[in-house]
């Protein structure tokens, strides 16, 4: 049967995520890292499909999904969250065609900046993205540690206030994101705040709100953003404290190479690099000494 490309439907998303997980694990195992990904419900994909269906595409042959692409747009930023092809379908041009269609999503939305996060060792994909005008910008490292192995909880911390979905808080989050990233992530904050498994907090230095963080029930920190570079260390310390307090077995975070204060704290307290990733973009954007991504798809 011929390959067919179409926009995704809600009932595609679980099968598409199974393909994404198998593709990631095939890649990481071939490069000696072992399986990295586990199956999770496609909550963010479902949210994004309802918000902007032009950003999600499947390649199918008969009843089988052979490839999946997912992108989202905030303000002027288009972000490629996922682009994966079944490992046994490589070399058929599926990735190129899915990327072409998601780039049309960027054009339709009027996005002027394009970005993504990929595995550092995925050189074939990097060459594809470079051909489409997205270039390597900064490394991003996944750090992880067993909660019981944290050497000492970081000392300097900010005052945290539970984050609630109010108009005033959304304005605060907008201000912080624009200072750290240059774009608003308002809809994504509303997605995170609606998830009961995620704890959000505004971070205060005395009476001034200087950042925010989210911590999952599994002990993962991110996203985290601050209004100025000097606040990153205390903010990350606060986030690690919140993550440890949740009682999960692990504490983890994605830390950009420019986030020197967070990197130093992570290493000092026993966190180790599990695998390396890479931010690629059409031009420099954001201040990566002020922002820690949630994961490669959410950014």
Q: Summarize pLDDT for 48-69 with one digit per residue, the tens.
A: 999 999 999 999 998 899 999 9
Nearest of 82, 71, 86, 74 to residue 19 by alpha carbon: 86
HEC-encoded secondary structure of the chain: CCCEEEECCHHHHHHHHHHHHHHHHHHHHHCCCCCCCCCCCCHHHHHHHHHCHHHEEEEEECCEEEEEEEEEEECCEEEEEEEEECHHHCCCCHHHHHHHHHHHHHHHHCCCEEEEEEECCCHHHHHHHHHCCCEEEEEEEEEEEEHHHCCCCCCCCCEEEECCCCHHHHHHHHHHHHHHCCCCCHHHHHHHHCCCCEEEEEEEECCEEEEEEEEECCCEEEEEEECCHHHHHHHHHHHHHHHHHCCCCEEEEEEECCCHHHHHHHHHCCCEEEEEEEEEECCCCCCCCCEECCCCCCC
- Cis geometry, peptide bond prior to residue 223 (ω within 30 degrees of 0): yes
* 244 has pLDDT over 70: yes
Instruction: Give the global pTM.
Output: 0.96
Tokens of residue 139, six digits: 């490394």
Q: How far apart are CA 60 and CA 22, in angstroms?
A: 16
User: Which domains are seen in the chain, by residue range?
Assistant: 4-111 (3.40.630.30), 143-292 (3.40.630.90)
- C-alpha 165/C-alpha 142 separation (Å) is 29
> What pLDDT digit, counting tens, does each position of 149-195 carry?
887 765 667 999 999 999 999 999 999 999 999 999 999 999 999 99
pLDDT tens digits for 9-60? 999 999 999 999 999 888 888 888 777 777 789 999 999 999 999 999 999 9
Q: Which tokens is 192 given? A: 């995170």
Sign of CA dihedral 15, 279, 220, 222: negative
C-alpha 9/C-alpha 56 separation (Å) is 8
Among 279, 231, 270, 271, residue whose Cα is nearest residue 252: 271
Q: What is the mean pLDDT of the chain?
A: 94
Tokens of 11: 């009932």
- Mean pLDDT value of segment 201-215: 97
């Amino acid at each position: 049967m011929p390959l067919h490309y179409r926009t995704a439907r809600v009932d595609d998303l679980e099968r598409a995520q199974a393909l994404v997980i198998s593709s990631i694990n095939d890649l990481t195992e071939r490069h000696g890292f072992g399986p990295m990904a586990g199956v999770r419900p496609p909550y963010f994909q479902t949210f994004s499909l309802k918000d902007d269906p032009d950003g999600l595409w499947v390649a199918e042959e008969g009843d089988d999904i052979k490839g999946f692409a997912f992108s989202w747009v905030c303000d002027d930023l288009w972000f490629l969250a996922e682009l994966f092809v079944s490992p046994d379908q490589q070399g058929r041009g599926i990735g190129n065609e899915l990327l072409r269609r998601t780039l049309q999503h960027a054009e339709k939305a009027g996005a002027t900046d394009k970005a993504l996060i990929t595995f550092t060792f995925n050189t074939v994909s990097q060459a594809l993205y470079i051909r489409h005008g997205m270039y390597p910008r900064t490394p991003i490292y996944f750090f992880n540690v067993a909660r019981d192995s944290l050497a000492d909880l970081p000392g300097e911390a900010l005052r945290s206030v539970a984050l609630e979905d109010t108009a005033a808080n959304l304005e605060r989050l907008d201000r912080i994101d624009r200072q750290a990233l240059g774009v608003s992530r308002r809809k994504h904050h509303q997605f995170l705040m609606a998830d009961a498994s995620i704890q959000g907090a505004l971070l205060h230095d005395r009476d001034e709100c200087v950042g925010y963080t989210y911590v999952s029930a599994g002990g993962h920190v991110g996203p985290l953003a601050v209004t100025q570079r000097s606040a990153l260390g205390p903010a990350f310390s606060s986030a690690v404290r919140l993550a440890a307090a949740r009682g999960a077995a692990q504490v983890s975070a994605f830390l950009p190479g420019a986030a020197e204060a967070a990197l130093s704290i992570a290493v000092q307290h026993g966190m180790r690099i599990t695998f390396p990733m890479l931010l690629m973009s059409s031009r420099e954007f954001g201040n990566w000494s002020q922002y820690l991504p949630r994961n490669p798809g959410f950014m």
